[in-house]
Amino acid sequence: MRQSMRWPALLAALMLLLTACGDGDDEGAGGGGGDGVGGTVEIAAVWSGDEQAAFQEVLDAFTQETDIETSFTSTGDDIATVLGSRIAGGDPPDVAILPQPGLLNDLVEQDALQPIEEIAGEAVDENYAEVWRELGTVNDQLYGVWFKAANKSTIWYRPPAFESAGVEPPETWEDLLEVAETLADAGTTPFSIGGGDGWTLTDWFENVYLRTAGPEEYDQLANHEIPWTDPSVKTALTRLAEIFGETDWLAGGTNGALETDFPGSVTTVFSEEDAAMVYEGDFVAGVITAETDAELGEGADFFPFPEIDDSGAAIVGGGDVAVLMDDTEQGRALIEFLATPEAAEAWASQGGFTSPNRNLEADVYPDDITRRSAEELVGAETFRFDLSDLQPAAFGGTAGQGMWKLLQDFLRNPSQVDTITEQLEASAATAFQ
């Protein structure tokens, strides 16, 4: 049964807070939004195009409930640079939506964010699993509401290819290897890999590592509390080599995988039909819909990333976190609204969106594929954020260096586990200095 706070009750609470604050002076803490506040709130985020249009529906719902107008600024992928310039100029947006926990931490260190415990703490506890509070907390202070999420533990496949080979979606790593071998024997290349984008390889590694090392060592590696030469890293890479090392299992072979970008890896499976499976997050569905003729549920489906050695179900995910940069009543009201199921529903009903809000009703999602992925993410017993996104950008998020480059080198030569781990550790040690 849904137990979320309804927005009318939330609005009434905000109005009571405004009354307690006197005449609504913009200086000081303020109390959220609602009648009598008015004005405009500026939001900055990376979204553009279809994503920006979808988020505008969320903002329109907010305006309808509060009479607060909204102004959206699209930063593109340079959000850290854009926000840095705005902060330096003394003109930050009221609210920013950040794509990485690392950027949240950086902004807290710069004293550029406002704590939001009094604004949204109760709503976060009511509507989110504890892990999302932890991801939004720095130095024991809550700074962020996770509004959008991604399930990055999904493997997408062509059902007709599986049916032709007589195989079913696997539940374990060993089953996945058997399915791949059967597909190959039947004349179908098992995997398409977008190795030209190094981040896809970090996602492969993170899913294998979480299942072989477990969540505690995952956290230790993410914080560089254990080195990348640790045996747990070598174990994960050795398991990953069981796929990467089978050149005939990769569309275009090793060189083809290294020359294929992420969108191309999806179209290889669902348009060219040159492979049966592609691993990546739930956002693969968007590429399938936009770039291929495959229909979700019939010509395209997914299964959860398989368990390894009785690891149990686990999810690696990503997401976007809303933070308060300028302590205005309008900004406070928007932060509190974004923590509600009502805000998530405004985007989820359009598709192309997963919410970590556990009180969003699953039937809001427009199709079974999105619904299943969202339910797995929200209900996961073990969830960890994308490890590379938790690293300094020079190591975890830059093309041509760090994890991206070194895992491309590993795909090129999967037998060199010791060499790659030594290089990963050297790069990480430099980035963490």
For residue 172, the one-letter residue type is T
pLDDT in tens, 169-193: 999 999 999 999 999 999 999 999 9
CB of 214 closer than 8 Å to CB of 311: yes
Q: What is the CA radius of gyration of the chain?
A: 22
Report the 10 Å Cβ neighbour count for 69: 14
Q: What is the dihedral of CA 272, 277, 278, 279, to 10 degrees?
A: 170
Name the one residue in this structure whose structure tokens are 């010791």: 418
DSSP type of residue 421 = H
Two tokens, residue 251:
């569309």
pLDDT of residue 36: 59
What contacts 335, CB < 8 A, 6 or more positions away?
95, 116, 119, 120, 145, 322, 323, 324
* One-letter identity of residue 376: E
3-state helix, strand, coil in the chain (%, to 5): 50, 15, 35
CA dist 348 and 359 (Å) reads 13
Relative orientation angle of helices 329-338 and 49-66, to the nearest 10 degrees:
110
Same fold, 7-142+328-375 and 154-313+391-431: yes
According to DSSP, the residues that pair with 44 across neighbouring strands are 73, 96
CA dihedral 201, 204, 208, 209 (to 10 degrees): 50
Instruction: Give whole-number Cα distances, 246 to 28, 177, 203, 205, 249, in Å.
Output: 62, 10, 19, 16, 5
Sequential DSSP letters for 172-203: BHHHHHHHHHHHHHTT---EE--TTSHHHHHH
d(CA 337, CA 320): 15
Global pTM value: 0.82
Amino acid at 44: A
Is residue 205 classed exposed, middle or buried when 0-12, 13-18 and 19+ CB atoms within 10 A define those classes?
A: buried
pLDDT at res. 352:
82
Torsion sign over Cα 357, 362, 365, 367: positive
The identity of residue 426, as a single letter, is: A
Q: Is 316 helix (H, G, I), strand (E, B) or coil?
A: strand
Domain borders along the chain are 7-142+328-375, 154-313+391-431
- Yes or no: is domain 154-313+391-431 CATH 3.40.190.10? yes
DSSP state of 274: -
**270: its two tokens:** 């669902």
Nearest residue to 196 via CA among 433, 420, 423, 405: 405
The distance of Cα 278 from the centroid of its chain, to the nearest Å, equals: 18
What is the second-level CATH architecture of the domain 7-142+328-375?
3-Layer(aba) Sandwich (3.40)
pLDDT of residue 361: 95
- Please tell me the distance from the alpha carbon of residue 94 to that of residue 44, in angstroms, as a whole number: 8
How far apart (Å, rounded) are the C-alpha atoms in residues 214 and 211? 6
Instruction: Kindly give the parts of the chain with pLDDT less than 50.
Output: 1-34
